[in-house]
Chain A
Amino acid sequence: QSVLTQPPSVSGAPGQRVTISCTGSSSNIGAGYDVHWYQQLPGTAPKLLIYGHSNRPSGVPDRFSGSKSGTSASLAITGLQAEDEADYYCQSYDSSLSGPGVFGTGTKVTVL
């Protein structure tokens, strides 16, 4: 049971915009800790997608964007493409836990 909750699945047609929420609490996102996002394509290792709320590593298309408000964060994918079909995980730090970070529950994005 993670302290960061994501919807199990979201879907959209090619070209549409979809958003994935990551809901936390006052001991993680609400405390101002950074939120990071990972993309896991089928059968592959996770890959860093967004770090520090909204920064994209080199090579990540600007169709992916991150934001944060209160105790939640969001990942938006605009101009959805077939190759975006994957699992997405948020990650942050939680002051009530001992580890360096905690992952969200994960969201499966399906391109219709």
Chain B
Amino acid sequence: EVQLAESGGGLVQPGGSLRLSCAASGFTFSSYAMSWVRQAPGKGLEWVSGISGRAGSTYYADSVKGRFTISRDNSKNTLYLQMKSLRAEDTAVYYCAKVSGGSGSYYLGYWGQGTLVTVSS
């Protein structure tokens, strides 16, 4: 059974940093691309970042480019999102998700339960 468990969320001041983790189990972690998707309170879904299975390629939404860094440790079956220079508009629930499909047809087959990041003074 695929399981994804995020951790690391919390309250942080504007300009601060936070690192999210996502522990994966139930599948061959290194064989799959992974992504982070966020949802601001009462808003829709935003695909924030993604990383290939071997970490050879990454993606960042324009809204977080230059401030967020996605990485993975395939020996620990763990996905990370390092967030710096946080802004109030980064306040959201952050979900990690397992990517399926292929180029032009990626979809998110499994999601974690999410971790809340609140940026406020």
Contact = CB atoms under 8 A, between A and B. Distances in A.
B59 A99 contact: yes
Contacts of B113: 44-45
A106 B40 CA distance: 13
B91 interface: no
Interface stretch (B15-23, B66-74, B75-83, B104-112): B104-112
Contact of A51 (B109, B111, B114): B109
A51 B44 contact: no
B88 interface: no
B11 interface: no
Given A98-B59, A100-B59, A46 B104 contact: no
Interface residues of B, number: 25
A91 B107 contact: yes
Given A100-B59, A101-B106, A47 B111 contact: yes
Contacts of A33: 104-105
12 contacts: A34-B107, A46-B37, A51-B101, A91-B107, A100-B50, A100-B99, A101-B106, A101-B108, A102-B47, A103-B44, A103-B45, A103-B47
Interface of B: 33, 35, 37, 44-47, 50, 59, 61, 95, 99-101, 104-114
Interface of A: 2, 33-34, 36, 38, 44-48, 51-52, 57, 89, 91, 93, 98-106
Given A36-B108, A101-B108, 16 more contacts: A33-B105, A34-B107, A44-B113, A45-B111, A45-B114, A46-B45, A46-B95, A46-B108, A48-B108, A48-B110, A51-B107, A99-B59, A99-B61, A103-B46, A104-B44, A106-B45
